[in-house]
Structure 1
Amino acid sequence: MIPHHLAPPYRFIAFDVETASRNAHSICQVGLACVDDWGQIDTFSLLVDPGEPFSHFNTQLHGIDARKVRGAARFPEIIAAIAPLMLHQPIVQHSCFDQRAVAAACDWHGLETPSLHWVNSVTIARRAWPEFRGNGGHGLGHLKKVLSLQFQHHDAGEDARAAAQVVLHAEQKTQRGFVEIMAKRSAPVIILKPLVIDA
């Protein structure tokens, strides 16, 4: 199920899911982009049988329907296969939906949610490119254009790779590792009131 050539641990793994409907637990595809110490990205994706109907809206977004997932593994089998790989390093997601979806799917299937170290690449992008706030934003659609990323949006493997590339671009721009980017915050603005001395 997982490609044999993968060689963990990685510096980080970017992760993305697609869902069959607006139900967060209805994961129908997972994608992982494994980034090593040299910036090499190994990407793979797996279809998941959500065990419930697909909504027309979601299928229009990602092109996955019941026919495509016929014969695919269910979520418990998928998470059992990928969790050992994901436990060893930070997991990058672009927004917090992927973390919520994994937790919802685990809860839906009566499984314990893996204790993963989640990192949000939206936060990393906001700190690397503050000028995009109110000027296109930090979603993958806008970042694809301004960073010249090549990927097919709403494919879990492609979106995971894009999130990984966002992190690598942010590191290159700031000349800091993503952990340092996440930790660094702007100094608070302190407004001093005039000192009044009684005569």
Structure 2
Amino acid sequence: MRILVLYSHPVETSFNASLHEVIVRTLKNAGHDVDDCDLYAEGFEPALTRQERLDYHDTDINQANVASYVERLEAADALVLCYPVWNFGFPAMLKGFLDRVFLPGVSFKMRDGNVIPSLHNIKKMVAVTHYGGSRIRAFLVGDPPRKNVKRMLRAVIKPFAPVEYHALYDMNNATDAQRAAFLKKVEQAIARF
């Protein structure tokens, strides 16, 4: 299976970097074709420009500045997101990727004013993340990151495709043992890919 791993963290010594390493190694060991897209290392520019917004609905030209990323997304059979939760959302780098690459004509098509999801090449999606705050705190604010993956992104991939969400909550107070246990849980989940 060809798997696009979207990784979004600026610090190579972070816990998120450890998660990323486990994901990529485990997928490769299982024989998958891994396209490891480290958004920071690749220098991805997350800001949608004025011209890109003006061209947003023009499917003849809207992909011009991100064509290589669109090709990688459309070539994938599955998608793995690895990122931290910051301020109950995606990091700006990952959010910018979604804004600039999940375009009309890519992740959806417009027909008579209706949105038609079109990333049907993505047959499975997994998100691996961690929150600084506790699960109850996330619950009290509606856990937007979980909903963004389980609802918003799920809506544009193949209908009924499995979507997994693995999160370590309360990272600010996590012990070494808790982080190690989460790494193991992620490794086991990815090995079942």
TM superposition score normalised by structure 2: 0.33
Higher alpha-carbon Rg: 1
Greater strand fraction, Structure 1 or Structure 2: 2
The alignment's TM-score, normalised by the length of structure 1, stands at 0.33
